[in-house]
Structures are given as structure tokens and as C-alpha cells.
Chain A
Amino acid sequence: MDSPHSLHLVHVKLLAADLLTLTSRHTSPPSFARCGRTVTRAEIVGVVVSRDRREKFLRFLVDDGTGCVPCVLWLNHQYLNANNSSSRGSDSDPTAEMALRMSEVMSLGTVLRVRGRIVLYRGAIQIAVRDVVLEKDPNVEDLVLLVNVHVIMVRIELNMREYGQPHYHLVRIAIEKEKQSNQRYRCSMLIWLMRTEKADILGVQP
């Protein structure tokens, strides 16, 4: 587990398209892999496009422009505490309080940074939320996209042989998405990046 290739303790910054296409390993609990490395936790940034509050949990969808990630924030700490440690039962747990607070800030249309464990629910990948940060600066979304594009560039630049095929489809997906949602500025930024940088390597026609 602790090999240098393992990322199991780390919240890996992923695009939704990447996260949802992780390879799941048939272990217990299930683990996930990307390019041969174990990924168990992830961080994504996107807009809340759906929100379903239940008594014990809050389910929501985060759309980062490359896909929608289902997330679940558990709100049942008091039940767990009541069962596990009766000595602390009378006081409310700060963890539960924090979770409740996070569930309150999470309204439709807000941009969130979500961290958590990657889990399988009915065969589909979702994030069991550890924490949520409300991103107030709208530039964050662009930055995340840019970081991912940049990462691709770096990876292609330095480790092309090691990792084989470049994952230019992510950029293409992002471009298509931007085209569709008429976010032409971001789209053109990506195209511009690709055009000026590694068009030949990425195999994208400028």
C-alpha cells in the first residue's frame, strides 16, 4: 500500500470525467486505480446541480464541466455516537455539527470544492464527502480546468513514454462542453492552449 505509486492517503485533484472512469479493483473495500496507481480519495471542484436532503444524508451532484459526480454527505453522526460511545452521548458531536453546517451552505448553483473517499454505490462511483468548501471566487473553476490542462501538458512533456497514450480526450471533452454551454471564452482558452502548445502530441487539429 505504501509504495511510492500509492496515493491512498491523498485527495487527488481530479476532473469528473477522470473520476468517473477510474478502474475499480475487486477488493474489499473496493479500491480504484488510475494509470496503475491506487486512488482512494479525490478532490473535485464544480457547481452543485442537484441536491437531495434526507434525514441521514445529503446527496448532491457536482458538475465541473466534464461530468457530474454524485456525492453523499452523511449526517447521521448522532446515531453512530449513540451506538458507539454512550459516554459522550449527551453532547452533540462537533463532527456532526460541521457536517450539518456544510449541508446548509450547499445550495444549487454554488461552486464547491469537495473532498472525500471514492466509494461504489450500486455499481457507480460516488464521493463520500469528508468536507466541502464554498468557493466564492468564480475564477476557481477556470483555474481547476487550467490546472488539469496544465497537468496533462506536464505529463505529456515529461513522461510520455511511461504513460503511453496522452489523455487529450479530457481537453477535447472540456472543449466540447464549453462549446455547448456557450462558454466560448474558456473554450477558446483551451483551444488556444492546445494550439500553441502540444497540438501535435495531443493529436488535436487546431
Chain B
Amino acid sequence: MNPPPPPEHGAAAAPRRLTVGDLVRIRRPTTGAASLISSPSLSTSTAPPPRKKPKFPPAAPNPPPRSTAPFAPIPHRVLLSGTLSLPAASSPVACRSHCLSLSDSPFAADAASVCCYLLDFDPAAVGREIHVLAWNYLPSVHRDDGVGVLEVIRWCLAEATPALGSGFMRTIPLDCADADELDSGTYGHVFGVVRSVSVVFSMPRASHKSDVGGGDPSVGFIAEIMCCACRKCRGTPPEADEQHKFEVEKFVYFVDSASRWRPVLARMVGRPVSVSGLKKRMVSVGTKGSYTMLVSTRKTMLRWCPSYPAVVELDGSSGNCGGVYAGVVTGIYMQGLLIELDETVWLLLDDQHLAPSHSLRVGAVISVKNGRAIRLKFAWTRIVLLGTCIKTSITINSFSLVDSKCYIKAENRGLLGKFKFTKLFSEKEILGSKNSSSLPGTLQLVDATGCIDVVIPDLPPNINNYKVVLQGHMAYLDHYDVTDPLSCKAAFQHFSFRKRLNHLKIYVIINWSELNRIGPSSIPLQINTCGKLFHLLKLTHIYPENNTFQHKNLLGHSLYAEAVILPYDFKFTERGECSEHAESFRMSCTYSLGNSKVSMAKSCDIPCTLSFGTTKLYGSLVSIYYCGSVGERDHISRILLEFKDGMFNYQSLRIGGYFLLECPTESLNYSMKGCGCLQGGKISLGSQSRFWTLAITFNGNTNIKPANGDESIGVSSVKMDESFSRKAVHSEIKLVRTWNDFHQYCDFQLNIYCEAKREKMEKYNYICHVFNELCSYSNEVQSVSSFIKTRVPKRPSRSSNLQNDKLVQGDLISLQGKVDNIHPYGCKKEKNMVGNKKYNICIHVTDETHMVRLCGYVSKHGYPVGLGPGASVTFHRALLTHKHELFLTPQTYIEMSSISLAALNEECVVTPLISDCLKDGSLTRVPSCLLFSSQKHFAESRAIQFQCRVVTIHVLVLENILKDSQPSETRRGTINIKVLLAGFIVDDGSSLCCCWADDARAELLLRLQEVAIPHASVASKFSKDGVNIKQTVGSFLESMLKKHKRIIARNCGIPPGISCHDLELSSALNKVLSCLEEKLMKFIILNACWKGTLNVIASALNANTLNGFNLDLPDLHPVRNMPNFWVNQAFQVDPLDEARRMLGMSRRLN
């Protein structure tokens, strides 16, 4: 459509002259050349393919020509010429380090200059006019950055005049002093090979030297020059001699005006130069001392040896920053801090001024001198990192034509230290270390590549330092078409690590028994004061993790559990023997027998032993109440346990288990009132708290001596566990130990034994009774079948009063079973799902005969690892309502007993938690199929869902909802009007139909809540405050409706025509609408007709129903035959969701 300028015919025509002034007016990336008879080496830059988006590839067997896509070629010959000079002092720092400047003659009419970068630099060109034979021009994207950059691919000198100076050394005509003034006698000079050049940097001047120039920092760079120390070279000028040995290292600081020489010096790396007119200065480097340095003066001159091309070999051995690497840029990441070369080497730029930022683009060939190569061998990949330092210089060998974007941000430094290499896990091993654990049974494994949740079912609780070997598998990678999943590109460009994890569903599970070199668990028992009390607790509930915390932010993170306090404390007796076996055990026998209160309490003692490993200690249980008081069991009270820091071993907690807590109070005195530490209803436990798991046995048995029937500790939990463990097969991974194992691996065993004396027997029987009673304090865990048989919630006592309340009432129960299915639940489409950490899900739980459903919200962090089909779970404190529905509540704790491996392999263990009402399945979705205007959907009375766009508006009835007295400010943010009825003609791509809606649905279809600006005259008239015209469409209507009360718009234009010429507007008060009011109505109707696609859920509407509105509908022929629908719901289209659904639909079609 935009025909290019006619190409010039005839090869003999001279190329058009182009000045720099012409060049800088170009506003898009452009290439040009003085000759279009392309040599193979120039074909990429000069070939003039038409600037069109490529169509389908021709069937020709030849490979398509390489496209110069981002650069527009000038189709005719152009010759650009200008004078090459150093960049202006005002140019950006990055340019001053690398670029030169090409400028028109200052006498030209519109002289201009442009930043340029030359290939095949020759120092002789500086200060002279050159012809640019082939070039790329990149205009600056940001206006502040100047005019852009010219990349000179080929050039020649305009006139072959002899260079300044002759013979061995030639002067580079920089803006230095006149050569005649040079007095080499008083000034130092160096002759040697440039080894490295720093970037231009600024440095504060020593403050006491007022003559050097106030507080301005000095700007300059340092060149490292390996000088020849031979006698000849000490005198100037140096002469040609093959005997030169460049061995002495000298540093020259080019400062102030000489700092502009950096682009020239950078290109002289590896070549001999002579610098004269230098003075010596002492440089102090912090506290490390002073060094002599040669500093440039106003008389400094730079010369080079054209006849001496010898390049000193750079020391590329590892450990030295002397490596040279040349390669193609294949990727630029981290805003230019990480550059991938040849898809193998990662060049890390710690300082962005190291590289010529304009030309460092994907596709460019660059060479890195004085870099430091580090070969990193990880278990899963090998990476060559090319580190840079102050000596590194980066030059461009070939410019990129495939990319015109400059990724490097001008002022963005020091990011490199912040990023981590987030990468994929491969089939290979990954070593990591335990970070922390918050979910029971899980750990978070962290290594340099990221973190991953790990399930270690039989992890001994007391080991903190270890490494875990994991194995994952790589799936889905081909689907995402990442050629090398371990490449830089894959890591930095395609997906974030977490996103990949979600897709891959890497689910690393490892059994502790399969790990090697893990020592036996040791009990960190350190009892320093034997007079201490130990409380006995039975855990009754664990509260699920609160979703207000992030995993990373574990400091100050509290977890909570509930326990009942047993009415007995444990105390060591003096009969106890200090164990030699337990080194950590320090028992000092300072027990005061003379304490009268203790002796009083002692009379209530029940003898027992506390044992761990092979150590057995004697103690006794003392009632926490004064001896002889009645009704001890009535005083059993609950307590909230707060686990204060995240490092606490929360995973050892188990509902129904016993725990021993060393009394945290310091007092040794045991008063009649007890220690008081459990009085507050809550106790905080940190990592320093002494809190151990405890197995209680009676005369060596876990079963209590039968007091009433055959009850046993743990009651049904034990039975349930055993049945589950028997059924456990190899395809299951158990996350929770059986009660037998739990008792076996408890930190302590407390054995209460019965002595033969009669009074002791009574006490023993009584304590058995108390323990049995404890069982009623935790919910009995029911199986699904037993639940179904007995699901009769207790009737609330005052049901009549509470019936009207919306509170859900019922009982909290504990239920155990196997997960059959999990799916998102509820139809409420929540748009901000990413930030929303709660998911509404429905879990189907089954045993072998029955199935029940639990619904409710699960927070993202409280979502147990492994909760998916096949998992055995226990729901503690699920709510059973009076309607026999089961709900998950915020305090429901989901205990995972085992995970099914078979289900894991089916890739469905983690059902995506996307609340998606479209999966509801209850709606018939009408596919918007080309040529598929199936009428059958219309005949059905049930709701259908389809995507459509508003074509025109048939009828619109708007009403004011504000009373006269009510100021509109009271309802700020909402629109004070109501859409009583609106008839929309909509188009779904297959047919037109008439959709009727009111209220919010109509507002959405009318786009009343969107911001749009009508014509200035209308906007200023109807805007709320007269000034702010940027407001929602609906709010413009308010004042108009206040005046007219109700407005009816009838469109007599024939759809799908969009014209508003046939719009009939009438006011309820029979007032005439003003011209502006009419215009506003037209604007609102047109605005709705020119918007995107919406999802509509609608049901068929009988045309007779519309008569009920008592409206005079425009009788138009096409509309008469259209089906009518009533809109039940309207919402925006999410293309990603739609695409996913579509893929699912395609799959089902098969």
C-alpha cells in the first residue's frame, strides 16, 4: 500500500550523496550502501528485499533469502560522507567509551553529527573525512538519547592524503596540543603494547589540592601498557626494532580532555602505541599505599605504529582475566547484564559501560578481550561463564541485522548480584539442602536453581543438616518446543521456573530409608535441673497454616495446635540413677526433700518410668491439683499451643499423640497452685522449648488396663491406622506413621506401672480411667461408611432463634477416607485469581463402599502436598451441617496419610485449581461456528452460553434512581441511573438475535461502567463536576435523567446498520431533549456498538413476554424474525481460558 520510491535505473548513475543531516532525519532503522552490486560478504546488508511482511513461502527448493526485517534498505545507491572525530564531551557515558562521531562540515547549512561505530577501525581516519560505503542507521527510541547510532560496515578515506607524522610512528590527530610544543625532556612517555583499557570512570579529586579544580570529580580511564624497557626506547621517538620486548607494565591515566580518547585506545588493545607528554603522579589507593602513575596532560600525544601489527598474546589461562572470546550474540537477558554467545557461553556484564550498548544486539558478532572464563560443571549441565572485569574490552566484529532493539538500559547497574539462575530440573541429580518446613511431612529443598517441596515420609525429626538426592523427570518439554531445556534461553526467556514446575508437575518424593549416610536419630535431651516439672499434653487439633504468610517469610510465622492438659505432671524422683549411657543427660541431684509442699504433693504420686533408648529413669506422676481434691477429670482443660518460629519441628505433631513439655517456668518451687504456666489458655513454644513426643504405656502395654470395656489409647485412630497400613501396597507412599510406629519412635516412653499395694492399685485404676476419659476430648475419626450410617448432627438447643441467621450450623467431625476426585467448585468467576490465595474446591472422599463430598475453601499455603486422587486423608474438624452437607472450614486440618503413586503417574494428582465456572457443564455452549447457525439451540428453553458482540441497540429505557432531595455525592463511584430494559441486537458470527437485559447485565452490555470521553461539548455539559470529563459513560447520563426522570430510546434503523439517524428519543415528562442530550444518547449507543466480544448466558424469551413491558417496540422486519433471549449473565471473555476450553473441547470431539 505504501509503494516504495521508484528505484533508480541504470547502474552507471552516481550514488546519491547523503549528509549526516539527512541521515538523522530518518526515523526508522535503515540500511544503505554506496554500491548495490553486492559481493557475497555484503549481501545481507545491501540486498534490497521488498519491505513487506513475508507471505507464505514459495514452493521453490531454494532457501528463502535472509531477511533484513528490522532494517529498511534504501533501494538506491547512497554515499554518506562526513568527518570522523571523537565523541563530544556532552554525549552519554556509554558513547564516550566506545563510539566515535561522524559529522558534516561545520560550514554546511544544516550540519549535524551522529554517534557512530566503525568496523575495521584505522587510527588514520580520526579527524578526516570518510566515505561510508555500507552502513546501518538506528534512530534513537528515546528522544533524550540523542539522534541514534550509525553503524559503519565499510568505509574508506575520502582523500588519500598522507597521515600526520611519518616513519615508524604516526600521530593520531586527537585534540591534543601542537606537536611542536612537545618537550619530551620534561614530560614522561611510554612506548608499548596496550594490554587493557578501563571504562571511563569518574573519581573525586583530593580535596586539599585547590588548584586542581574544586570539587569536580576527575573523569578519565586507565590504560595498561606493556612497555619496552630497552635503552633505545627510553629516548624518543621509538624506532622500529624487532628486539622490542614489551615486558614492563605501566599504567597511564587519561584524564579530563584525554578521557575522550577511550574509543581509540580501546581499539588499540594488543597493538603498540607511544604516548608522550605524560607526567608522573602519586596515586593513593585507599589505605593500601601509593603508586606511581603516568597521567595525561594537555600536551599528551598518542601515536601508533602502522607497520608494527604484532599483537601481544593475551594470557588466557584460567584464573587470569586475559581471555579472548569471539562469538555471535544469541540472547540478551537481564536488561543486558547477561549475554548469551553462541548459545553456549554466558557473558556476565557487571558494568554496562563495558560494552557498546547500541550495537550489542542479538545477531551481532562480538569479541571479548580480557574476560575470564569459568567453566561450571553442575550435575545437570555445564555452563561456560565469561566474567568481565575493569580490564575487559568488548568490541563489535559484525553488526546485527536481525534485531534492531537495544536491550540495555542506560542507567541500571548492579543487578547481576541479585538474580539467581532459575533452571529446570533434569533427570540428573540435584543436590540441595533443607531450608525449612512448615507443612507437616514436607520440607522445602533449596539449591541454586530454586526451591521445591519435598515429601519425606519417614524423616526422623531431629536431624537438621543433610543433603537430599532427588530425581525428577522431564516431561512436556517438547510441547513447549524448547530445543535445549538447559540453555540460557530456556532459563531466562521462556518460562519462569515456577511456571515450568506447574506444567511439569515435578513431584519429588523420596523415602528416608533409601538415603545413605544418615546417622541414627539422637534425642536432644538435656535436663539440667532435676527439680523441673514436666507437663503432659494430648494434642487434639492442629490448625491449618494461615494463608497470610508467604513461605519465604517464615520469621515471626506462628503455627497453632490445640491440646488438652493432662491432670498429672511428671517429676523425677530421687530414686533415679544418673545414666552413663546418655551423654547429654545431666541430672544434678539437688532435689530438696525438705520442701514441705513437695512432700504434701508426693502423697498423690503414681510411680512411673521415663525411658529413651536404653536409659530408664524413675519418676512419678503428681496431680496438678492439690492432693485429695475431687473431680480431677472435670478439670481437664484445653490449651492453645503456639509454635513461634517456623523452624520448630511442627511435622512431628500428630493429633491424638501425647507430648511431654518441660515446664518453662524457672521456679523450682512447686506450689499448691501449680506452676501456673498453663493457666493462660495459651503457651508459646519456640525452638528452645523442650517439647517431646511421648508414648504412654500401662504396665508395658499401649492398651490401658481395661477399666470400662476394651478401650485403648488412641481409640479408633489406632484401629483405622492399622487397617490402612495393612492395605498399603507398594504403589502408595505413606506420609504418616502408624500409631505403632509413632509410639516406637517417640522421644520418650512413659510407663505407668502398678504396684502391688492396694492403695496404689486404686490410684492406678483411677489414672487409667482418667486417660480413657481423655479420648472424648478429640473427635473420633470416622470412616466414610460409618459416617454415612451415623450422620445425624446434634440439633442445636435454640434452633428457633437461630434459624433466621445465615450462620451455617452443625457439628465438627473427623472423617477419614481416600480421595476420589478434586475439582474446582462454585460458579463465581473470580477474576483476580492469581492474587487470590484461596481456592474453592470440592473433594470426593470414598472408602470402598460409600462416597461423600466436602466443599469449601482451601488456602494456597494450607493446601496439603499430595492432596489428589488416590490419597488417603483425614479431615479433622470438618463441618457437618444440618442438611447433611460437609464443609471444609478455616480450621479444618487435612492430614495426609498416604499418596497414591499410580495417581501421580496419571498426571492428575494436582488438579489445577482454577475456579472456572465454564467447566460447570450445566450450560449448553453454542460454539461460534462458521456456517453453523444451528437453530436447535434456540428452541430449547434452557440457558445457553455464547460469545457475541453488540450490533445495534433496539430499545433502551433508562431511569433516574435518585430522589430530588438526595445529593448525587452519596452514591459516589456508582451510577445513579437504572437500565429498566434494553434490547440489544447481537451477532455471534453465525446469526443475529435480540438479547434483552436489565440492570447490571444491561450496564455491562452498554459499557456504562467504562471510561469514555464524548465530544467536548457533550462532555463539558454532562460531566459531574463540570471539569473532570474522564469519567464513566454512565455517569454522564445522571444529570440528564435527573431532569427527564425516564428516557426511552427506540432505534428504527435496520440492523446491522450502525447509523443513529433513525433514533427516536422520548422523555417521560414529555420534555423535548436538547441537541446535546440527543448527542449524548447517540454517543452512548454507538459506544456500546463498537466494543469487543462478551460472554452471555441467556435463556429463550417468548416474544409475548415483552408485551408486558408495555412498550411500543419498533417493528422492523429483520428483528421480527430474530429469536429473543433474556440475558441471565454477561461477563468479559478471557482469551486464555477460552483457548484452554477449546483445546479440551477438541479433545472430546475425538
Contact = CB atoms under 8 A, between A and B. Distances in A.
Interface in A168-182: 173, 176-177, 180-181
A55 interface: no
A173 B55 CA distance: 10
A82 interface: no
Interface in B1055-1089: 1055-1056, 1058-1061, 1075, 1079, 1082-1083, 1086-1087, 1089
Interface string B1024-1056: 000000000000000000000000000000011
A37 B932 CA distance: 11
A153 B1118 CA distance: 31
Interface string B1072-1113: 000100010011001101111100000000000000000000
Contacts of B1134: 137
Given A7-B933, A150-B1146, A95 B1059 contact: yes
Given A52-B1, A94-B1015, A150-B1146, A13 B930 contact: yes
Contact of B989 (A13, A52, A98): A13
A49 B53 contact: yes
A104 interface: no
Interface stretch (B427-435, B463-471, B587-595, B1135-1143): B1135-1143
A43 B481 CA distance: 31
Interface string A160-204: 000000000000010011001100110010001100111000000
B1150 A150 contact: no
B160 interface: no
B203 interface: no
B928 A13 contact: yes
Given A131-B1090, A150-B1145, A10 B992 contact: yes
Which of A7, A85, A177, A192 has the most CB atoms of chain B within a 10 A radius of its CB? A7
B990 interface: yes
B937 to A, nearest CB: 14
Given A59-B1, A94-B1086, A135-B1092, A151 B1056 contact: no
Contact of A151 (B927, B935, B1075, B1139): B927
Could you say which of B1075, B1086, B1134 has the most chain A C-beta atoms within 10 Å of its C-beta?
B1086
B1090 A12 contact: no
Contacts of A50: 1-2
A130 B1089 CA distance: 10
A19 B1091 CA distance: 22
A52 B2 contact: yes
Contacts of B992: 9-10
B520 interface: no
Contacts of A37: 931
Contacts of A61: 1
A150 B992 CA distance: 21
Interface in A120-153: 130-133, 135, 137, 139-140, 142-143, 146-151, 153
A143 B1142 contact: yes
Contact of A14 (B2, B930, B987, B1090): B930
Contacts of B419: none
A27 to B, nearest CB: 19
A69 B1041 CA distance: 44
Nearest to B991: A10
Nearest to B951: A11
Contacts of B1075: 91
Contacts of B1090: 98, 102, 131-133
A10 B1142 contact: no
Contact of B56 (A13, A143, A176): A176
A13 B1055 CA distance: 18
A35 B1142 CA distance: 24
B927 A97 contact: no
B721 to A, nearest CB: 44
Contact of B1149 (A35, A148, A181, A197): A197
Interface centre among B64, B932, B1089, B1149 (most CB of A within 10 A): B1149
Interface residues of A, number: 67
A131 B1058 contact: yes
B1079 A91 contact: yes
A180 B57 contact: yes
Contacts of B931: 7, 12, 34-35, 37, 155
Contact of A97 (B1015, B1056, B1121, B1147): B1015
Contacts of A153: 1146, 1149
Contacts of A133: 1090-1092
Given A94-B1060, A133-B1091, A139-B1136, A147 B990 contact: no
Nearest to A50: B1
A4 B989 contact: no
A142 B1145 CA distance: 16
A92 interface: yes
A173 to B, nearest CB: 6
B930 A94 contact: no
Contacts of A130: 1056, 1058
B1138 A92 contact: no
Contact of A95 (B927, B1055, B1060, B1143): B1060
Interface in B920-970: 927-933, 935, 949, 951
B481 A70 contact: no
Contacts of B64: 180
Contact of A154 (B1089, B1138, B1149): B1149
Interface string A71-93: 00000000000000100000110
B1138 A9 contact: no
B480 interface: yes
A155 B928 CA distance: 12
A91 B208 CA distance: 75
A180 B987 contact: no
B54 interface: yes
B581 interface: no
B605 to A, nearest CB: 74
Contact of B990 (A7, A135, A157): A7
A69 to B, nearest CB: 12
Given A34-B931, A180-B57, 4 more contacts: A35-B931, A131-B1058, A155-B931, A197-B1147
| 6 cross-chain pairs, A with B, having the tightest CB-CB distances, nearest first | A139-B1135, A131-B1090, A13-B989, A143-B1135, A133-B1092, A94-B1082
Interface of A: 2, 4, 7, 9-14, 34-35, 37, 41, 43, 49-50, 52, 59-61, 63, 67-68, 70, 85, 91-92, 94-95, 97-98, 102, 113, 115, 130-133, 135, 137, 139-140, 142-143, 146-151, 153-155, 157, 173, 176-177, 180-181, 184-185, 188, 192-193, 196-198
Interface of B: 1-2, 53-57, 64, 479-481, 927-933, 935, 949, 951, 987, 989-992, 1014-1015, 1055-1056, 1058-1061, 1075, 1079, 1082-1083, 1086-1087, 1089-1093, 1118, 1121, 1134-1136, 1138-1139, 1142-1143, 1145-1147, 1149-1150
6 contacts: A7-B933, A12-B930, A67-B55, A115-B949, A133-B1091, A153-B1146
